[in-house]
Amino acid sequence: MKKTVVTLLALAFTAGNACSAFAAGPASFARGLTGSSAVSYISEKGTIIPPFAQVLFCAQNPTECRDNNGLAVVAMTDKQMLQLKDVNTAVNRTMIGRNDPRNELNGDVWKVNVRSGDCEDFALTKRSRLIAMGWSSRALRIATAYTPSGEGHAVLVVRTDKGDLVLDNRKSSIKNWRDTDLRWDKIQSGTDPYVWYRL
């Protein structure tokens, strides 16, 4: 396992930081699921080297990257939708959006449960809180994308029987992945955090 992590670190470092995630201001109160799309899931197109900062994050925080053997698709209830809204709102309101210093790992360090951070820190914190509430880690995946202005961005994607739902620190609402303004880049595997897919 240690050899695999070292190999992945080397590959990811060689490939460079494929996703530079930026802080985008905290969102306001979540108004609920928006958009009227039919059930829709992100389609993976093949494996890709994971973001270097994510590989380091998992090496330093193995409990945050462990598979809890839950379901890959969550059957949404009113209670679960309320939990999603509450976590999205709480993290967006309480965390301060702040880019990583440029001298830290090419300006990209992934952190969880912090007071301030950039977009992947928001996504990781939301994921961690939902897992602590009993959600399946397999249904909670970090995805990278680009905003309309071309900035690298990261969000939490929740796979449900209503489709893939996106929790974004730039937005107050939870949306189906097709209803966002993002240009999708790659997504983490639900069962193995060291496996990522092109989108």
pLDDT 10s digits, 158-183: 999 999 999 999 988 999 999 999 99
pLDDT 10s digits, 58-87: 999 999 999 999 999 999 999 999 999 999
In the chain the domains, ranked by start, together with CATH numbers, are 51-198 (3.10.620.30)
According to the model, what pLDDT value does residue 102 have? 67
According to the model, what pLDDT value does residue 172 have? 86
Q: How far is CA 8 from CA 11, 15, 55, 99, in A?
A: 5, 10, 7, 25
Mean pLDDT of 51-55: 93
- pTM surpassing 0.85? no
Rounded percentage of the chain residues whose pLDDT exceeds 70 = 78
Q: Is the pLDDT of residue 117 over 70?
A: yes
Residue 96, H or E segment: strand 96-97
